[in-house]
Amino acid sequence: MTVLYIVFTTGRCNLKCEYCGGSFPESLVPYEVKYGVDDLKRFISDDPAPTICFYGGEPLLNRNFIRSVMDEIPRARFVIQTNGTLVRRLEPEYWRRFETVLLSIDGRQEVTDHYRGSGVYRRVLEAARWLRLNGFRGDLVARMTVTEITDIYLDVKHLLELGLFDHVHWQLDVVWSNRWRDFDGWCERSYLPGLKRLINLWLDEAERGIVLGIVPIIGVLGAMVKGERLDCPPCGAGKTSLAISTDGTILACPIAVDARWARLGNIIEDSRLKVVGKVGIGEPCLSCTYLKYCGGRCLYSHIERLWGEDGFRRVCRVTIKLIEGLLEIKGRVIELLRGGTISLKELSYPPFNNTTEIIP
C-alpha cells in the first residue's frame, strides 16, 4: 500500500493568520526536526510509491531539512503546502522536482489579506509567478480557507481567472472556528447559491471542452462518472495518509497535534504497516446514504465534533447540497465524456493523494 507522508519540517510559522494563530506551541510541535532523515527513509522503505508532503508551520522555514529529504529519498513524489511568502529560499532545481505545490490564498485580495495579513495576497501571486518563471511545471493549487467573508463564486472564479493556478481547492473554516456570526444564514444567502453558480459555470465550460480545475467539483464528479466511491475519509487520514511531526510522532491527521486518538506511534519505533487503520470513520457516516461521495468528510471533525452534534449535521447539510448539485449534472457530464468533448483524465483528480481532501 502506498501512503502520503505529511512531514512537518517545523512547528514555526512566519505568519499569524487568524485561522490557526501562527506557530504551534514548541512543546507540541518542536521547531527543529528531532529525528534523522535515515529514520524517515527506513520508515517508508517498504512503500513502493511514497509521496512526501512538506508541512508546518511554514515548511520553508526549515529548507535544509527539505533539501536533505529530497536529496536522500529521491524516489519519492514531492508535494508542499506553503503560505508562499518564502519560496525563494529553495533553489529552482528543487522546485522543479515537486509534483504539486499548494499555495494558501483565499480568493480576492481583500478576502485573503483580511485573515492572513496585509500584503499576503500580493506575495502569494508573486510566488506563483516566480515558480513558473523558474521552471516549475507541476500542479499549482490555490488552497483556500473559506469563511463568512468568502463569496465562493467570486473568489474561486477570481483565482481561476488569474491564469496561474491549475486547480483551486477549499476547506470550510468549520473545525475550531468561533468566528462565524451566522453560519446557516451565510450558507443560505451566499455559499449554497454560489456553489450552484460554480457548478453551472463548470458545466457551461465543459460544454465548450474546458474542464475548470475546481477540486471539489471534479473530485466528486470523477467518482460519480467512474462508478467509484470516495475514500473514507477522502483525505486518507490514518489509512493512506500519515502525518509525521518533528519529533517523529506519527499522527493520523496533521492538525490533530494535541489529540490522543490521532497519535499512532513514532517513526523511530514503529513500522509503517503497524500504524495504519487504527482510527477511522464511524457512525453516523457508515449508515449515511451520502457516504459514497462524501467519505465522512473530515476524520478530525468526525471524531472531535467541536461544533457538537447539531453543528456536525449543519456541515453535513452543506456537503449533501454539493453532492446533490453534482448528481444533477452527472448525466450531461457522461454525455460530454462519451462525445469526447471532455476527457476522463481531467476528471481523475487528484491523480495521487496530494493533500487536496476533495470535500470542503
Mapping DSSP to helix (H, G, I), strand (E, B) and coil, where does residue 174 land? coil
Is residue 263 near ligand SF4 by the rule CB under 6 A?
no
Backbone φ, ψ for residue 101 (5° rounding): -120, 120
Residue 248 or 295 having the CB closest to ligand SF4: 295
Is 276 within 8 Å of 239 (Cβ atoms)? yes
Binding residues among 297-356 for ligand SF4 as defined by CB under 6 A: 297-300, 316, 319-320
| CB nearer ligand SF4, residue 51 or residue 336 | 51
- DSSP labels, 13-25: -S---TTT-SSPP
- For the bound state, the minimum distance from the C-beta of residue 287 to ligand SF4, rounded and expressed in Å, comes to 8
Binding mask 123-162 for ligand SF4 (x = CB under 6 A): ----------------------------------------
* CB-nearer residue toward ligand SF4: 108 or 297: 297
CB 240 within 8 A of CB 3: yes
Q: Which stretch binds ligand SF4 (CB under 6 A): 46-54, 89-97, 111-119, 281-289?
A: 281-289
Q: How far apart are CA 55 and CA 135, in angstroms?
A: 22
- Selected binder of ligand SF4 within 11, 50, 194, 233 (CB under 6 A): 233
Stretch of 8-16, 138-146, 179-187, 294-302 lying at the interface with ligand SF4 (CB under 6 A): 294-302
Going 40 to 42 to 46 to 49, the CA torsion angle's sign is positive
Q: Least separation, in Å, of the C-beta of 286 and ligand SF4?
A: 8
Angle at 300 (CA atoms; ends 59, 16), nearest 5 degrees: 40
Number of residues in contact with ligand SF4 under rule CB under 6 A: 21
- Cis bond upstream, residue 284 (ω within 30): yes
Those residues whose C-beta lies under 8 Å from the C-beta of residue 254, and which sit 6 or more positions away, are 6, 8, 55, 243
Cβ distance to ligand SF4 smaller for residue 27 or 289: 289
Is 57 a binding residue for ligand SF4 by CB under 6 A? The answer is: no
Order across the sheet with 77-82: list the strands. Answer: 167-172, 139-146, 98-104, 77-82, 51-55, 4-8, 241-244, 249-251, 263-266
* Site for ligand SF4, rule CB under 6 A: 233, 235, 237, 253-255, 284-285, 288, 290-291, 294, 296-300, 316, 319-320, 357
